[in-house]
Amino acid sequence: MDIEKKIEKISRPILDSLGVELVDIEFRREPNGWVLRLYIDKEGGVNLDDCSVVSGEVGMAMDVEELIDHPYNIEVSSPGLTRPLKKLKDFERFSGRKVKIKCFEALCGRKSFVCMLNGVDGENIIVTLDGDEMKIPFGNIAKANLEISWEE
């Protein structure tokens, strides 16, 4: 099991108890040392207090578990306006929003496009692209993010 999966296993019960969703985890070496970055969200968005509480609680749990044997900094933040969509439930939740999707394999001659998210049907993401509805297999999605739309 990779380190990010282990961190998720430790942090998920804490986040659930605090009523926040784990959107993404990054653990990487940066110019100033190792950084553990947690992106969290909740209905209505997260605030500085949410980030501070999560940082303290997860930091204590990480210390107890002694999972990381070298110095690191922990950062907790909102995923931002262009939030990544990682799970099927993310695609359901943000139905009706504009998204940017990059696929592993080309669809309609393209691997990357901006489209309207219509929802989920089994393991397929339903979108409207250039006025036509289409299905994208969830397994073909390399990356997906909410797209900022100034019309909303």
What is the DSSP-derived secondary structure letter of residue 74?
E
Q: Does pLDDT of 129 surpass 60? A: yes
Q: pLDDT of 53-105, one tens digit each?
A: 999 999 999 999 888 889 999 999 999 889 999 999 999 999 999 999 999 99
Domain ranges of the chain: 3-77, 88-146
Q: Does pLDDT of 127 surpass 60? A: yes
Q: How confident is the model at residue 44, as a pLDDT? A: 87
Q: Does pLDDT of 151 surpass 80? A: no
Distance (Å, whole) CA 125 – CA 7: 28
The CATH T-level fold of domain 3-77 is: GMP Synthetase; Chain A, domain 3 (3.30.300)
Residue 28 binned pLDDT confidence (cut-offs 50, 70, 90): very high
Residue 143 binned pLDDT confidence (cut-offs 50, 70, 90): very high
Q: How confident is the model at residue 150, as a pLDDT? A: 63
Taking the domain 88-146, which CATH number applies? 2.30.30.180
Distance (Å, whole) CA 136 – CA 141: 8
> Do 86 and 47 meet the contact criterion of CB atoms below 8 Å apart?
no
